[in-house]
Amino acid sequence: MVQSLVTGGTGFVGSHLVRTLVEAGHEVTVLVRETSDPYLISGLPYTSVIGDITDFQSMDDVIPDDIDIFFHNAARMTVWGAQKRFWPQNVEGTKNALEIARKRDIPTFVYTSTSVVYGFQDNNDPIPEDCPQNAKNIYARSKKEAEQLVWNYQKEYGMHTTAIRPPLVLGRGDEQAGPIMRDLMQNNKWFYFAGAHAPVSVAHAEDVARCLLEAASHIQVSNGKAYNVVSFDVVWRDFCERLAQELGIVKKFPSIPYSMAYGLSSLSCAVYKAFNKKEPPMRVFTPFYVKLFGRGFVLDGTKAMEEIEYKPKWDLESTVKDVATCKCDYRAR
């Protein structure tokens, strides 16, 4: 039986990964912090060990020696906050994970990266994996640096490493994008940027998990490579209108011109940061989201399909229904 270790296994994507691995017949060990709430993976057969990716010794003390695949999924994921909030987990945590894998001679290391490492391009042509990276916000820069560590260990120590880069991730267990959208729509606070007529790539969390498994299963091909993972592309306004319909909302949402939205979001965020607010205005009113949903962001996902046999299971209709009906955990399945 394949022995898999997962960091971040109690979170959104990580919980889907744990479930996917269990269903594939893996024996799964999940590294959890003492404060972690494992409700998303409750009822699944797995072994938990208590440790923290920012504390190498705590990991070294508890991670088994017989691991076959190390799935490093833990990270601080937000576009808001100071550098000191991201580097310990995203960069130093990844270095600790890689060092554990090197020390134990773990055969395969799979890293959950992000498509925000590309930054925003000048057009909406699908972005391939070899596109020059232009990471702007602190989260993107931390993930870019962490991913570079993955490639450094592959080259310097001969480790078998691979990474996937998801775009906007939605689905059951999400406590960010989906619930925020539902809340704003149901409370008549939702609006579009520049009409939301631009296309956006979306990945369902279960598809992300399946792509992670495929990358690991095809490590002889995927070694040293990153893969975009996409479930489908959609004009953002179409997604929102379908979601509103699924929620029983008939009201048409207003739109803010792009230049006005970008300027107001920049100003609002500056004020919020000056007052040390923990979240951005309305949780999504940032320059990053204005660009994402106002100008669009599309990935080229063909490489994963051709090289590691990834096939998306989720489409627009099924994902909209999942976002509309989920209770942010697997217990609603």
What is the DSSP annotation of 51-78? Answer: --TT-HHHHHHHS-S--SEEEE------
Asked if 178 and 323 count as a contact pair (C-beta separation under 8 A), the reply is yes
The pLDDT score that the predictor gives to residue 331 is: 36
Label the pairing between strands 3-7 and 69-72: parallel
The region, left, alpha or beta by phi > 0 then psi within -120 to 50, assigned to residue 25 is left
- Local structure of 31: helix, strand or coil: strand
The Cα 15–Cα 205 span in angstroms is: 9
* Residue 259: partners with Cβ closer than 8 Å, 6 or more residues away: none
The pLDDT score that the predictor gives to residue 138 is: 86
The pLDDT score that the predictor gives to residue 81 is: 56
* pLDDT mean for each 10 residues of the chain (333 residues): 97 97 98 94 97 97 97 81 75 98 98 96 91 89 96 98 98 89 90 94 98 99 99 97 95 92 84 72 77 94 98 98 74 37
The Cα 302–Cα 122 span in angstroms is: 21
For the record, the structure tokens of 234 come out as 């959609």
Write down the catalytic residue from 46, 139, 153, 310: 139
> Domain limits of the chain?
3-174+200-233+298-332
The pLDDT score that the predictor gives to residue 329 is: 41
3-174+200-233+298-332 is classed in which CATH architecture? 3-Layer(aba) Sandwich (3.40)
The pLDDT score that the predictor gives to residue 77 is: 72
Q: Does 139 participate in catalysis according to the annotation?
A: yes
Which stretches within the chain are classed as H helix?
A: 12-23, 56-62, 83-86, 93-104, 138-157, 177-186, 205-217, 219-222, 236-246, 258-274, 287-295, 302-307, 316-325
The residue among 221, 85, 65, 70 whose CA lies nearest residue 150 is 70
The Cα 7–Cα 90 span in angstroms is: 12
The pLDDT score that the predictor gives to residue 332 is: 39
CB-based burial label for 63 (10 Å; 0-12, 13-18, 19+):
buried
The residue among 328, 292, 244, 251 whose CA lies nearest residue 121 is 292
The pLDDT score that the predictor gives to residue 265 is: 83
Q: What is the pTM of this model?
A: 0.94
3-state helix, strand, coil in the chain (%, to 5): 45, 15, 35
Computed on alpha carbons and rounded to an integer, the radius of gyration of the chain in Å comes to 19
* Residue 97: partners with Cβ closer than 8 Å, 6 or more residues away: 7, 53, 59, 70, 72, 74, 109
- Local structure of 260: helix, strand or coil: helix
The pLDDT score that the predictor gives to residue 50 is: 98
Does an H or E element contain 161, and which?
strand 160-165
Q: Residue 8, CB half-sphere, CA atoms under 13 Å: how many? A: 24
The residue among 195, 164, 173, 190 whose CA lies nearest residue 299 is 164
